[in-house]
Amino acid sequence: MSNIEQRLNELGIALPPAPAPAANYVPYVRSGNLIFVAGQVCFGADGKLAERHKGKLGGGVSDEMGREAARICALNVIAQVKAALDGDLNKVVRCVRLGGFINTTPDYAAIPQIMNGASDLMVEIFGEAGKHARSTVGVAELPMDCAVEVEAIFEVA
């Protein structure tokens, strides 16, 4: 068992199946040693969007549910990276960048804390290699009214 799979086991984390794209694009593209992961939304491992992860921070979605939604996006990102690496997450060299889009009302400014739901997971799983550059913004709306969307760039071996 690889180190990262062992780490996932220790953390009690089961990766979801890599989600199919919502439209006419692919979930990831590799160029050289970089994998560009398409924006992943907060659909759960059952392929469904839970009501509690739908809507806006500052609106119907609580801070706790927002962080949970960000974590789900990050799990979906990692599932895509695993698929891109033919199942071998030990080939991850670095999580280079996360882009976090938070579905917010125009007055909800605590978005970094929400995005930590994604960032914390990367560091829990990959350690130093999980420490990434990050941009987080509050947007007017997201696909299917999801609370959070996360895109990523990974460097791989």
CA distance linking residue 157 with residue 92, whole number of Å: 6
Give whichever of 5 and 120 is closer to a second copy, judged by the CB atom: 120
CA distance linking residue 139 with residue 41, whole number of Å: 14
Q: Mask 69-108, x = binds a second copy (CB under 8 A)?
A: -------------------------x-xxxx-xx-xxxxx
β-pair partners for 41: 149
CA distance linking residue 38 with residue 27, whole number of Å: 5
What region, left, alpha or beta, does residue 87 occupy, with left being phi > 0 and alpha being psi -120 to 50 degrees?
left
Please give the biggest Cα pair distance in the chain. 47
Q: Mask 112-131, x = binds a second copy (CB under 8 A)?
A: xx-xx--xx--x-------x
DSSP conformational letter for 61: B
Binding status of residue 27 toward a second copy by CB under 8 A: yes
Binding status of residue 20 toward a second copy by CB under 8 A: no
Least separation in angstroms between CB 127 and a second copy: 13
CA distance linking residue 101 with residue 145, whole number of Å: 12
Alpha-helical segments (H) within 3-132: 3-11, 63-84, 111-126
Give whichever of 63 and 120 is closer to a second copy, judged by the CB atom: 120
Interface residue with a second copy, options 3, 9, 33, 62 (CB under 8 A): 33
Least separation in angstroms between CB 2 and a second copy: 22
Binding status of residue 26 toward a second copy by CB under 8 A: yes
Binding residues vs a second copy (CB under 8 A): 21-29, 31-34, 36-39, 56, 58, 94, 96-99, 101-102, 104-109, 111-113, 115-116, 119-120, 123, 131-145, 149, 151, 153, 155
